[in-house]
Amino acid sequence: MKRKTWVKIGIGILSVLLIIDIVASFYFYHLAIERGEKDFLQGNEDLDVSAETMDVLLEGGWRTWGDEQNFDEWTMTTNDGLDMKGYFLESEEPSNKVVVMAHGYLGNAMDMGLFGQYYYEQKGYNIFTADARGHGESGGDYIGFGWHDRFDYVDWIDRIIETYGDDTEIILHGISMGAATVLMTAGEDLPDNVKAVIADSPYTSVHDLFAYQMDRMFNLPSFPFLPSTSVVTQMRAGYSLKEASALDQVKQAEVPILYIHGNADTFVPTSMSKTLYENTKSDAELMIVDGANHGEPYVIAEDKYIDKVNAFLGKYTDWE
């Protein structure tokens, strides 16, 4: 066969592969990042939790508690023109302490009532939570996985201090995507009012998470699909998968960070929290919860979880 024929065949094969890669990159962007319902997670064995946990998450009394609270609704327009929605609940007795909470992927602000009820009723703190970009009542046609959201949280923090005074003290508490969000926020130039961060089941970066899930869910290699998906994400959402890194952010964090992760987490592997912990610039602690799957530590080990959080806050803050 002539050389020109081989060249044509080679070009044809490369063209087909390129088309497949482009189509796949738009598919994965639509699947995971574009705002909308995500049916691909239904039936995902990596998200299976105990029946007890499922009862608490779906029908726990914290949901009724959240519905009954008179949250002040806050709105904010971001620098890139998105209308965001936040919710502030003042403590029953005056307090200068505020817990700022960040929810997980496909959730909404009120999902953090699971933690908010404890902080509000048992500790007497003010609580604040917000709908992330592309979630709930907040604007955005994409999911930021914490990267652009970190600036939103800096703005929420500034507003809280402006509203409640310079003596306001703040801790950040996030779960899953929300945990990555507060870690990314921790890498920014934060006011001294922010005293500590609690990150429950975080990922190191969006790229690392997608690479792990692409192999686990689709049995596909990272290359060439992730680089091309990252290009699409950059064009449509304004960030790349590699730059959206909690790991890079904690390397420059100044605020103490408590990491919590279940050792049975197969959706976001426990090793990611270990890597984050080992690379954190500020003081940090790590608690591993035996038998807990993704986002499950608080439910299956509530007393241990609360004791650790209280001990951590007592060590690095004057919070009781």
Predicted confidence at residue 60, as pLDDT, reads 77
Contacts of 174 (CB under 8 A, 6+ apart): 101, 102, 103, 180, 181, 182, 183, 198, 199, 200, 202
How far lies 25's CA from each of 18, 32, 245, in Å? 10, 11, 20
User: Which two tokens mark 53?
Assistant: 């946990």
pLDDT of residue 228: 94
Distance (Å, rounded) from C-alpha 260 to C-alpha 199? 6
Q: How many CA atoms lie within 13 A of 63 on its CB side?
A: 8
Residue ranges covered by each domain of the chain:
50-205+244-316
Task: Report the pLDDT value the prediction gives residue 227, as an integer from 0 to 100.
Answer: 93
In angstroms, the CA 194 to CA 256 distance is 10
Q: Which long-range CB contacts under 8 A does 70-76 form with residues at least 24 apart?
A: 74/130, 74/156, 74/159, 76/152, 76/155, 76/156, 76/159
**Separation between Cα atoms, residue 92 and residue 273, nearest integer Å:** 35
**Per-residue pLDDT, 90:** 98
pLDDT of residue 56: 74
Tell me the Ramachandran region of residue 299: left when phi exceeds 0, alpha when psi lies from -120 to 50, beta otherwise. Answer: alpha
CB 128 within 8 A of CB 88: yes
Q: How long a stretch of residues is the chain?
A: 320
The span from the CA of 196 to the CA of 283, in Å, is 10
Long-range contacts of 307-310 (CB under 8 A, 24+ apart): 308/258, 308/260, 309/198, 309/258
The C-alpha atoms of residue 116 and residue 113 are separated, in whole angstroms, by 4
Fold of 50-205+244-316: Rossmann fold (3.40.50)
> Cα–Cα distance between 58 and 72 in angstroms, integer?
24
The span from the CA of 156 to the CA of 191, in Å, is 12
* Lookup result for tokens 């007795």: 93
Residue 220 burial class via C-beta count within 10 angstroms: exposed 0-12, middle 13-18, buried 19 and up: middle
CB atoms within 10 A of CB 320: 9
- Rounded CA separation 85/3 (Å): 63
- In the prediction, which pLDDT does 61 show? 87
Strands ordered across the beta sheet of 284-289: 72-77, 83-89, 126-130, 97-102, 169-175, 194-200, 257-262, 284-289
pLDDT per residue as tens, the chain (320 positions)? 566 665 555 566 555 555 666 777 889 899 899 998 877 666 666 566 566 676 777 677 898 999 999 999 999 999 999 999 999 999 999 999 999 999 999 999 999 999 999 999 999 999 999 999 999 999 999 999 999 999 999 999 999 999 999 999 999 999 999 999 999 999 999 999 999 999 999 999 999 999 999 998 888 888 888 999 999 999 999 999 999 999 999 999 999 999 999 999 999 999 999 999 999 999 999 999 999 999 999 999 999 999 999 999 999 998 87
